[in-house]
Amino acid sequence: MTYRVGIINVTGFAGMEAARLLWGHPQARISSVTGRSLAGQKLGEAFPHLACYGDMPITAEIEGDVDIVFSAMPTAASAAACAPFVRAGIPVVDIAADFRLKDPAEFEKWMGQPHPAPELLAQAVYGLPELNRAAIAGARLVANPGCYPAASILALAPAVASGIVDTQIVVDAKSGISGAGRGTGGSYGYAEVNEDVSAYKVAAHNHQPEIAQELAALRETGPVKVTFVPHLVPMTRGIHATCYAALKPGVSQAEVNAIYRDFYHDAPFTRVVDTPPHTKHTLGNNMCLVNPTVDLRNGMLVAIGVLDNLVKGAAGQAIENMNLMLGLPQTAGLDLPAVYP
């Protein structure tokens, strides 16, 4: 059987990346794509890199029957797009941030507006299979993780879950510019962004509570404090999260290595490596590379996670979640080398 996938808002970077990756999926194919600004155009013409899709129309609404829906709408607009499908019993993966925070008050605090569909929050599952594989498999509504949280949580989860670190955590994250989205050139023009590094939303980015929520869930002994500082670096794709937490006394590098490898021993897309990983080694594929280093002099753990923000940080993760929700092999369509150099 080939499952039919609908993509809401295929015209953003995450939506078009889902289209790119689904082209090679052995058991799923796109049957309908929406994009209001380009409705009436053809997918293969609007986006020349997707010419393989030829005449597939971009429509204003999902058309025909679909077996699963991805929403790549902007945050706060996505819930309304997802709701009809959820209510109709069709599996939904929301790539936006609408269903990630479990507490609607937190959503309102960080997004600056009331949650658009609080009645659906209870059934939403946070879509990081390394933590929640079974729950995702049984879910009808999956909240796909943010790109920064995906890298940060995967870097920190073994340490937090095992209790070897304190819960005052620093996450210093670096992102390629595609994370800012398509058509956001006004602030992200090439001439301005090239040859520049800058921080933004210092300790005020809405991915901070998402990271804190998921790490706390691993711990079950109280909150985790996360200072999160995102930076833009001049590259197109890639997230590099460098995470710092004080180690409990006496924890060795060997113990940390063992804890990390054990935690991810059956995770097909998170690999623990022995040297600092390069974002470029994940370009275009669904891998997250994790590297923990013990700073013995200072009793600090430095845990690094890298991934492609549009793949493991968005569209690839959505397909991985789809695979689990539909009972397909977790790696179906995602077993790809990275593009290097």
* Sites for a copy of itself among residues 31-50 (CB under 8 A): 47-50
332 binds a copy of itself (CB under 8 A): no
- How many residues touch a copy of itself under the rule CB under 8 A: the total is 86
Residue 2 Cβ, how far from a copy of itself at the closest point, in Å? Answer: 16
Q: Choose among 101, 125, 126: nearest CA to 114.
A: 101
329 binds a copy of itself (CB under 8 A): no
Residue whose token pair is 């209790």: 163
Check: CB of residue 15 under 8 Å from CB of residue 38.
no
Integer CA distances (angstroms), 302 to 199, 213, 217, in order: 20, 20, 21
16 binds a copy of itself (CB under 8 A): yes
Cα separation, 214 vs 156, whole angstroms: 10
Residue 245 Cβ, how far from a copy of itself at the closest point, in Å? Answer: 10
337 binds a copy of itself (CB under 8 A): yes
Residue whose token pair is 């804890």: 259
180 binds a copy of itself (CB under 8 A): yes
What DSSP designation does 144 have? Answer: P
Select the residue interacting with a copy of itself from 77, 117, 161, 300 (CB under 8 A).
300
Angle between helices 104-111 and 207-219 (to 10 degrees): 150
φ, ψ of residue 23 in degrees (nearest 5) = -50, -35
Check: CB of residue 177 under 8 Å from CB of residue 89.
no
Closer residue to a copy of itself (CB): 123 or 298: 298
Closer residue to a copy of itself (CB): 86 or 239: 239
Give the number of other CB atoms < 10 A from CB of residue 40: 10
* Sites for a copy of itself among residues 205-234 (CB under 8 A): 225-227, 229, 231, 233-234
Catalytic residue positions, numbered: 147
At a CB cut-off of 8 Å and minimum separation 6, what does 30 contact?
4, 5, 6, 7, 19, 22, 53, 56
267 binds a copy of itself (CB under 8 A): no
105 binds a copy of itself (CB under 8 A): no
Select the residue interacting with a copy of itself from 46, 117, 332, 336 (CB under 8 A).
336
Distance of CA 8 to the CA centre of its chain: 17
58 binds a copy of itself (CB under 8 A): no
59 binds a copy of itself (CB under 8 A): no
Closer residue to a copy of itself (CB): 50 or 136: 50
